[in-house]
Amino acid sequence: MLQQAAFTKVEAEKKTVTGADLLLEALKKEEVEVIFGYPGGAVLPIYDKIYDCDIMHVLPRHEQGGIHAAEGYARVSGKAGVVIATSGPGATNVVTGLADAMMDSLPLVVFTGQVATGVIGTDAFQEADILGITTPITKYNCQIRNIEEIPRIIKEAFHIATTGRPGPVLIDFPKDIAAGLVERPAEPEISLPGYQPTIEPNYLQIRKLTEAVSSAKRPVILAGAGILFSKASDLLLEYVEQQKVPVVHTLLGLGGFPADHPLFLGLAGMHGCYTANMALYECDLLVNIGARFDDRLTGNLAHFAPNATVAHIDIDPAEIGKNVPTAIPVVGDAKEALTMLVKQEGKPPEHSEWMQTLEGYKKENPYWYENSDSPLKPQRVTEMLYEKTNGEGIVVTDVGQHQMWAAQYYPLKNPDRWVTSGGLGTMGFGLPAAIGAQIADPSATVIAILGDAGFQMSTQELAVIREMNLPIKIAIFNNRSLGMVRQWQQIFYQERYSHSKIPSQPSFVKLADAYDIKAYEINSEQEAEKILAEVMKDKEPVLLDFRVAENENVYPMIAPGKGLHEMVGVKK
């Protein structure tokens, strides 16, 4: 009898699990490779289970760094980035990353600790209404109130984050739910009757688009990040070569079509190239695939593709017609749409005159800058980084002038090699995002191109880079200012540089040395050539402080309120 009782007790213990157990089991079933997390009181039951868990855990030095690292991981890997933060300030510290991921359609599953259910709503220690705070900036959020529901909620969270238009999902985890015991629930099934994204486009709309392309005289394809999210780069290339239609890219779409292809026109938008912007302005058919017509792309809407029939392929129906009237709406996944378009084998358009015009624009109006060895030009630094990596690096940027120079002078030939903050424009994004990118692809050469101001918003993450020995090459374009703010103050505010210049800075070389990271200050092209040749192939992290021209501006540029055809700083 005693042996039977002991056996029954052991069996009962095997069947009884905590909420934290269920969480980690669910993450393993989703094949989660890495967790970016920061412990605290409300998530201690979870971290006690993580102690024995074999999923990689990365400890950022700030929760915002953790969620930006998860964004970089998601962008390169195509998988959901997973984040854990504690309640109150831990949860609110991930808010910026959630907003950033929401704007740029990055799949994240974020778990925030919460105070015990019995004191929710009492202003308990480290309590924050994270659901109320994050409702506008998440694709979905919820709070777990029943332990048995944990497996189902987590399975649904990953499904929502990674299907349709990707985005961040937040799950709020009360401490007593994580610590509570329950008999292991049955395997969950997803039940989301209200969430049924349209994947396969309407055939009749595909036919309309095929006919429109065949009859166009001045067609152009605008390729956005939707090409990358749907893994449709090869199909886009096949379709473009079948139809001989030129392609322009949005900022977030870079890499979705090879930049060295003769039908690639370049980056469009505020700091895009002349050819791409004029193609959008003069086209008679604009085929948007996976882009959202944001204001930095379109400029003044009255002058955006004014004589064009607009077709828009997007998995998010809310984006179609939101900013630009659309004659041919196609709701569906970009890969599915391109598969159908390729099979149509439509007659290619007769547009030789159009192509001659665009080739003329390319030759007459390339990107340009006045090169000099001293002061060192940031455009030249970007070209050198491209040369030293043969254009094969993963380029991660922060936000500002350096971001635009990277987009202009590091032409991307392959998909999923470009990580940047687009819609929200988050300073401090670049360094931690590079960590996530390197973890996603350990064999890649990751270059973090940063401004000196944005770098100082997340310098603490150097500790993670050193701790994990991540061979990230940190290239700081140091112009001693908030470069893009200074440029706008110069052009639009009569050179009244209100708090945009940073006369006093720490030594970035000494700062890197404090983290035991190799570092160099570089003041000339000759120094850059020598040092880059030495360090780019190292399997160690390195920081490069490029002292670039302080007053260099990003051109071309479309001023606020102006149209795509009204660029300034164009080489004539």
Query: Which are the catalytic amino acids?
Result: 63, 125-126, 175, 484
Q: Collect all residues with Cβ–Cβ distance below 8 Å to 373 and sequence separation of at least 6.
A: 524, 525, 526
Distance set, CA 562 to CA 270, 298, 567 (Å): 10, 10, 8
Calculate helix-pair angle for 334-344, 203-215, nearest 10 degrees.
60
Q: What DSSP designation does 541 have?
A: -
Within 367-408, strands assigned E span 394-397
Cα 285 to chain centroid distance, Å, stands at 28
Please report, as a single letter, which amino acid is at residue 266: G
Three-class SS state of 481: strand
Q: What DSSP designation does 393 have?
A: S
Give the whole-angstrom CA distance, residue 563 versus residue 270. 9
Structure token digits, residue 192 = 């989301």
**Is 207 exposed, middle or buried (CB count within 10 Å of its CB: 0-12, 13-18, 19+)?**
middle
Q: What is the 3-state secondary structure (H, E, C) of 97-157?
A: HHHHHHHHCCCEEEEEEECCHHHCCCCCCCCCCHHHHHHHHCCEEEECCCHHHHHHHHHHH
Give the whole-angstrom CA distance, residue 105 versus residue 71. 10
What is the residue-wise DSSP string for 52-92?
T--SEEE--SSHHHHHHHHHHHHHHH-SPEEEEE-STHHHH
Structural contact between residues 458 and 465, judged by C-beta atoms closer than 8 angstroms: no
Structural contact between residues 356 and 221, judged by C-beta atoms closer than 8 angstroms: no
Give the whole-angstrom CA distance, residue 130 versus residue 89. 10
